[in-house]
Structure 1
Amino acid sequence: MNPALGPGQLAALRQAAEWLCQLNSGDARQSDHHAWQQWHDASPDNAWAWQQAERLQGRMTGQALPVARRVLDVSAEHRRASRRRVIKAGMVLLGGTALSLGGYQQRTTLPWLADYRSGVGEQLKLNLGNGTTVRLNTDTALDVSDTPTGTRLKLRQGEIMVQVPLGQQCQAQTTHGRVDTQACRFSLRVLETSTRLNVHQQQARVTLPSGQSLVASQQQRCEFDRERFSPLLALPAGSDAWDQGLIIANGLRLDQLLAELSRYRPGWLHCGPDVAGLRVSGTFRLDDTEQALRAITSALPVRVQARTRYWVTVVRA
């Protein structure tokens, strides 16, 4: 059995899927292909992910042409195809790659097999039968099941906000551990190598695969992986603002704010190293990241440099 894919490989596969969709969209320009080449050459993981796509496509079609070449052909022949169909094809392609390479553990966490999914920039609210409510943040995949003792959630990727009513129990699982709560409001976010728990009301117990456990109380945060916990910290102000569709920044570094905004839009959004440490304060709507960028450029000595609509850099003005 092959080992599970690493975080870098998984991220590269997701990015390769996005590039495949973008180049197949029917309106790709030469600058898009140039940007794709830069992404491809930027890291060994990126080149590996694209190579896996080529190999899988070759096995599926019996052709030896590179994917990049076929992408251009498809774009010319099917410019009226819907973007949704293209996205689905890209995810199936790279989903098959991950299934063939990742082993059992990876197969059980693939996001496209989840009961519920939210897209990039989308939020989804679930009202469960026992009164528990769950909000899926952007790009989130979640399984939901009922047990004799309450609700069981399996967060495959992304972030959720959970409100458990009085008299009910909830168990939330990620690849890093299990969270058990009663009558609690909490959020859970899967990061690259760990999970973050924010407890907004009452308390929650985290248990690692080894059996180690820790209780986080109201207004506390902790991160954990499969082996250890981080120290408990106080929740920063506005940590649950995303539940209302907002980001509240209070002297936040520009690179950190852009990293959060990038979760709500397709493609890549980053800034130059010379402006990364500039501080930003304000309230920004998650459903209008373009307006957020305009607000940032009006408050700081920076400007937006858009190579394509999917490749945006904030640089010094």
Structure 2
Amino acid sequence: MTTKQSIDPTILEKAADWLVLLHSGEMTEQQQLEFQQWQQQHPDHRIAIERATRFNKNFANLPNTLNINQLLNSKTTLQHTILKKFIWILSPVVATWLAYQYLPWQLWQADLSSKTGEVKSITLEDGSSLTLGSNSYVNLHFNDTVREIELIQGEIYIETAKQPPKHKRPFIVETQSGAIQALGTRFSVQQNKPSSSTLVHVFQHAVAIAPDQQTHRTILQQGEMAQFDQDHIQKVEKLQQTQPYWTQHILVVENKPLDQVLTEIYRYRHGQYFIDEAAKSIKVSGVFSLRNTQQSIETLAQTYDLKLNYYSDYVLYVSK
């Protein structure tokens, strides 16, 4: 198995500076020449630009302009939220700067990643199967003593492979909350943001959960799920699904708040939604496509009598 090489953060920082200048529209001919020369000075320079460019593709799909006045006049309740969360849509320069400041090197240097809306499956060197959900990033740390996956962002589903009796290596998923060790199993792990909590679903056998700030482990059995952070594990609950349907681009929900359902749909879709308080707690049940998210949103609107107000292809306000 091959993994991506680590690149000096100072090189990545310089790559980000070049990208900001490149998107500014103010790059001179001399600067363009210097940019080309910098890329040719070392292979890591070119790789850093490629990674930064690939990482910023999501931003490139956003509109260059947004009619803020129209937006605020139409929905005064959105004034502060739109100004705070969507000012970066106005300029690709600002978008690149935000990527540089707040979505930095960990994601750029991830060994494996998936795009927004993509579900990607990989066979690991030990024969285990790893599936990445939309917009997910992982690092792989496999050696003679351990098989470890570091989940930086997103969601993964794992089917572990059997190990030779004389050379068994523990299979561990590390998250911001702690460690999950497979006990011969099929399970999924989701790294939630911005809360930094971790959600675990066990579909076969069991896993052992160890929050960073605890000295003991909790065993999660087949058909169970739990959410945990660095300090504690929340109540273990019964798992309603027998398999991770998201690996097939399907979202199956039963009696879930509308806000949670839209959050899951928007993990597979570019843009952002806002929802009226009166609509957040509407209970939703059904099967929805994660491949055609627009159709899923329209189905929700028809089924639950919702109003959909689009302010661009990437900004949606949902109300009752």
The Cα of 1:33 is off from its aligned counterpart by 9.2
Query: In structure 1, the residue corresponding to 2:260 is in which secondary structure?
Result: helix
Q: In 2, are the aligned partners of 1:238 and 1:248 still within 8 Å (CA)?
A: no
State how far apart, in whole Å, the 1-side matches of 2:272 and 2:82 are: 15
TM-score (norm 1): 0.69
1:161 and 2:157 matched: yes
| TM-superposition CA deviations, 1:111-132 (whole Å, max 9, x none) | 2221111122111111112110
Secondary structure at the aligned position of 2:270 is classed as: coil
2:81 is the counterpart of 1:42:
yes
- Cα deviation for residue 227 of structure 1 reads 1.5
In 1, the alpha carbon distance for the partners of 2:67 and 2:58 equals 13
CA distance in 2, matches of 1:18, 1:270: 23
Query: What aligned pairs does 1:260-299 form with structure 2 within 5 A after superposition?
Result: 260-299=264-303
TM-aligned CA deviation for residue 223 of structure 1: 1.7
Partner residue of 1:252 out of 256, 263, 270? 256
d(CA) in 2 for partners of 1:41, 1:214? 42
CA distance in 2 between counterparts of 1:140 and 1:20 reads: 16
Give TM-score, length-normalised by structure 2.
Answer: 0.69
Indicate the residue corresponding to 2:180 in structure 1. 179
Alpha carbons 2:122, 2:130 under 8 Å: kept: yes
Structure 1 partner of 2:113: 117
**Partner Cα separation in structure 2 for residue 220 and residue 174 of structure 1:** 19
Q: Does 1:170 align with 2:171?
A: yes
Partner residue of 1:223?
227
CA distance in 1: counterparts of 2:204 and 2:159, whole angstroms: 9
Partner secondary structure for residue 297 of structure 1: helix
Q: Give the whole-Å Cα distance in 2 for the aligned partners of 1:129 and 1:32.
A: 54
Amino acid at match of 1:193: S
Specify the structure having the higher radius of gyration (Cα): 2
Q: How many residues align?
A: 254
Shift in Å at residue 304 of structure 1? Answer: 1.7
Partner of residue 127 from structure 1, selected from 91, 109, 123: 123
Name stretches of at least 5 consecutive residues in structure 1 with no aligned partner.
Answer: 1-16, 54-66, 72-85, 100-105
Q: Is the 8 A contact 1:238 1:247 kept in 2?
A: no
Contact 1:20–1:90 under 8 Å retained in 2: no
Q: Which runs of 5+ in 2 are unaligned?
A: 1-55
- Across the aligned residues of Structure 1 and Structure 2, the Cα RMSD in angstroms comes to 3.3
Aligned to 2:67: 30
Instruction: Give the C-alpha shift of residue 34 in structure 1.
Output: 5.5
Asked if the contact 1:176/1:194 (under 8 Å) is kept, the reply is yes
Displacement of 1:156:
0.4
Deviation of 1:275 after TM superposition, in Å, equals 2.5
Residue 42 of structure 1 aligns with an amino acid whose one-letter code is T
Deviations 1:185-215 (A, max 9, x none): 1111111231111111111112233433211
